C-alpha cells in the first residue's frame, strides 16, 4: 500500500480531492476515504480489545498492546489524524499487534485448559435439566462447569463455544454433554425451542424474545435491557433457574461435529501430509470460515465446500464453519478433509500451520497450494483481515459483501497491492484458487 498512497475520495460523488464541499469532517454529508479508514481502525481496535479481554480473564496482559490501543482509539475517535497513508500503516500495525494478542490468548487457553485434541461433539440432548452457554469466554464456561458438577444439570455449548469441547481441562467435565444450534443468529429460534437456562458470555447477543427472556443471563461485558446480569463468576442464580425448568428428553442429534484440531495436532501429521502432497493425493488446502451472517449470499460457502475436489483439505474456524461442518467429507488416507481449528481468535492456529507447511516444503507461504476464502462481518473480522495482511498473505477471497469501510478507492488498493478478491461463482472461484 505504501507504493500507492490513498487520496481524499468521496465514495458518494466519486471525485478525488473534491474540495471544500467534501472534507474529512463530512460537512457536505458525504464520507471520504479518510473517514472510512478511521472507521476501519476503530473496528480493528474493538475486535482486538475483545481478544484482550478474554486473555485478561485468564491473567495475561501486554502493556505494549495496550499502548497501541491508546494510539489507535485516539487516532480513530478524535480529529487528530487525517493522513490516509498513516491510517493504513496503523491498520497494518494493528494487524501485527493482533497476531501478538492471539498468541497471548492461545498461551492463556493452553496453560489453563491444555492443548486441544480432536473431539467428537454430540448435537442432540441428554435427559435432564440444562444450561446453554454462548459467546467466547472459556473462563466463564469453566466456572459454570465447576459450580454445576454433581447437580444433575447438563451444560451445552452454542456457536463459538463449540471448540471448548476440545480442551482437556474442560472436556473432563462429564456434564459438558454437547452443542446445540449453529451460528450466533439462530439464537431466537434455538433459545425458544429448548427450555434451558441461558448464559451469554460475549458477543453476539440478539434482543431476546418473550419466550426465554426470564431464563437468560448475561455475564462479563454483555448487557441487554430486561436480562439479568451476573457480575463475576457466581452462577448460583443461573443454576437455580435451570433447576426450576423442565427436563430435556434424551434425543439424538442429526449429526456429530468434530473440533479440537490445534496446530500441534495438525503438524504432528506433517510428514504424512508432505508424503500425500508429493504423491498427488492432496492437491490443495483451503481455509474456509470466518464470521457468519444471515445474508442470502452466505449460502455460497456451503456450495463452495460441497464443490471442492475430493483431493483437497478444508481448514475452518469461527462460526462460519456452521455453514458446512455437518457435512461428511471423509478423509484422505486417514487425514480428515474437514479440520476445525476453533474460535475466531484461533486464527493464529491457521497462521502457524501455514508457516510450518511453508518450511516443510521449502517455499514461501504465498507459494503454498493454500487459499483463504473468508466470510465477513465487522470488528473481529476486520482485525483478523489486517493481521493476515500484516503477515504478507496474498490472494485472500472475501464475502459475502464488501466491508462497510471499503469504498472503490480502498478496494482498488487492496486488489492491486494484496490481490484481494470478492466471492463470485463457487466453481469459478475454485478454478481460480487452484490455479
How does pLDDT run across 271-308, given as a tens digit for each residue? 999 999 999 999 999 999 999 989 999 999 999 999 99
Confidence band of 31 (pLDDT split at 50, 70, 90): low
| Rama region for 43: left / alpha / beta (φ>0; ψ in -120 to 50; rest) | alpha
Confidence band of 9 (pLDDT split at 50, 70, 90): very low
Closest by CA position to 162, among listed 324, 376, 343, 346: 343
Mean pLDDT value of segment 328-334: 98
Which residues lie closer than 8 Å to 63 by C-beta, 6 or more apart?
A: none
What's residue 203's pLDDT? 86
Dihedrals phi, psi of 146, to nearest 5 degrees: -60, -45
Please state which of the ranges 15-24, 82-91, 228-237 shows the lowest mean pLDDT. 15-24
Residue 8, all three cell numbers: 481524499
What's residue 404's pLDDT? 86
Mean pLDDT value of segment 343-362: 96
Q: What percent of the chain has pLDDT over 70?
A: 93
Which residues lie closer than 8 Å to 400 by C-beta, 6 or more apart?
A: 293, 295, 296, 297, 298, 300, 375, 376, 423
Mean pLDDT value of segment 174-196: 97
Mean pLDDT value of segment 348-352: 97
What's residue 7's pLDDT? 45
**Does the pLDDT at position 6 exceed 70?**
no
Mean pLDDT value of segment 388-396: 97
Mean pLDDT value of segment 263-269: 97
pLDDT in tens, 414-425: 999 999 999 999
Establish whether the linkage from the previous residue to 75 is cis, with ω within 30° of 0: no
What's residue 10's pLDDT? 40
**Does the pLDDT at position 21 exceed 50?**
no
For residues 285, 291, 292 and 298, what is the CA-based torsion angle, rounded to 10 degrees?
-60
**Does the pLDDT at position 4 exceed 70?**
no
CA 409 vs. chain centroid, Å, equals 27
3-state secondary structure of 2: coil
Confidence band of 379 (pLDDT split at 50, 70, 90): confident
- Residue carrying C-alpha cell 485478561: 56
pTM, full prediction:
0.92
Alpha helices, H only, 314-371 = 347-361
Residue 387, all three cell numbers: 493481521
Confidence band of 403 (pLDDT split at 50, 70, 90): confident
**Does the pLDDT at position 172 exceed 60?**
yes
Cβ count within 10 A of residue 61: 11
Cβ count within 10 A of residue 428: 10
Amino acid at each position: 500500500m505504501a507504493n500507492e498512497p490513498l487520496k481524499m475520495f468521496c465514495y458518494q460523488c466519486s471525485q478525488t480531492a473534491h474540495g471544500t464541499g467534501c472534507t474529512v469532517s463530512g460537512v457536505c454529508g458525504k464520507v471520504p476515504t479518510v473517514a472510512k479508514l478511521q472507521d476501519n481502525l476503530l473496528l480493528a481496535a474493538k475486535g482486538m480489545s475483545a481478544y484482550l479481554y478474554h486473555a485478561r480473564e485468564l491473567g495475561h496482559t501486554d502493556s505494549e498492546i495496550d499502548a497501541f490501543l491508546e494510539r489507535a482509539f485516539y487516532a480513530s475517535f478524535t480529529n487528530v489524524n487525517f493522513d490516509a497513508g498513516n491510517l493504513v500503516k496503523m491498520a497494518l500495525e494493528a494487524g501485527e499487534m493482533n497476531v501478538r494478542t492471539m498468541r497471548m490468548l492461545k498461551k492463556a487457553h493452553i496453560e489453563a485448559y491444555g492443548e486441544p485434541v480432536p473431539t467428537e461433539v454430540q448435537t442432540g440432548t441428554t435427559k435432564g435439566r440444562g444450561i446453554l452457554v454462548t459467546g467466547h469466554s472459556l473462563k466463564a464456561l469453566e466456572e459454570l462447569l465447576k459450580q454445576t458438577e454433581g447437580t444433575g444439570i447438563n451444560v451445552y455449548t452454542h456457536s463459538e463455544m463449540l471448540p471448548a469441547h476440545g480442551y482437556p481441562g474442560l472436556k473432563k467435565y462429564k456434564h459438558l454433554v454437547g452443542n446445540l444450534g449453529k451460528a450466533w443468529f439462530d439464537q431466537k429460534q434455538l433459545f425458544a425451542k429448548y427450555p434451558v437456562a441461558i448464559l451469554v458470555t460475549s458477543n453476539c447477543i440478539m434482543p431476546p424474545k418473550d419466550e426465554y427472556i426470564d431464563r437468560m443471563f448475561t455475564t462479563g461485558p454483555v448487557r441487554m435491557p430486561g436480562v439479568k446480569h451476573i457480575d463475576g463468576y457466581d452462577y448460583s442464580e443461573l443454576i437455580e433457574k435451570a433447576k426450576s425448568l423442565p427436563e430435556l428428553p434424551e434425543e439424538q442429534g442429526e449429526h456429530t461435529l468434530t473440533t479440537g484440531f490445534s496446530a500441534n495436532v495438525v503438524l504432528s501429521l506433517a510428514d504424512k501430509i508432505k508424503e500425500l502432497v508429493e504423491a498427488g493425493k492432496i492437491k490443495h488446502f483451503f481455509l474456509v470460515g470466518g464470521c457468519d451472517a444471515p445474508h442470502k449470499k452466505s449460502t455460497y460457502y456451503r456450495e463452495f465446500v460441497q464443490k471442492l475436489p475430493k483431493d483437497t483439505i478444508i481448514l475452518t474456524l469461527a462460526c462460519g464453519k456452521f455453514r458446512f461442518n455437518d457435512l461428511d467429507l471423509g478423509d484422505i488416507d486417514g487425514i480428515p478433509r474437514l479440520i476445525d481449528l476453533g474460535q475466531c481468535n484461533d486464527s493464529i492456529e491457521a497462521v502457524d500451520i501455514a508457516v510450518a507447511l511453508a518450511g516443510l516444503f521449502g517455499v514461501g507461504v504465498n507459494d503454498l497450494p493454500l487459499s483463504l476464502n473468508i466470510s465477513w462481518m465487522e470488528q473481529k473480522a476486520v482485525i483478523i483481515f489486517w493481521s493476515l495482511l500484516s503477515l504478507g498473505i496474498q490472494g485472500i477471497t472475501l464475502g459475502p459483501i464488501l466491508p462497510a469501510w471499503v469504498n472503490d478507492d480502498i478496494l482498488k488498493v487492496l486488489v492491486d497491492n494484496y490481490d484481494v478478491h470478492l466471492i463470485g461463482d463457487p466453481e469459478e472461484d475454485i478454478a481460480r484458487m487452484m490455479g
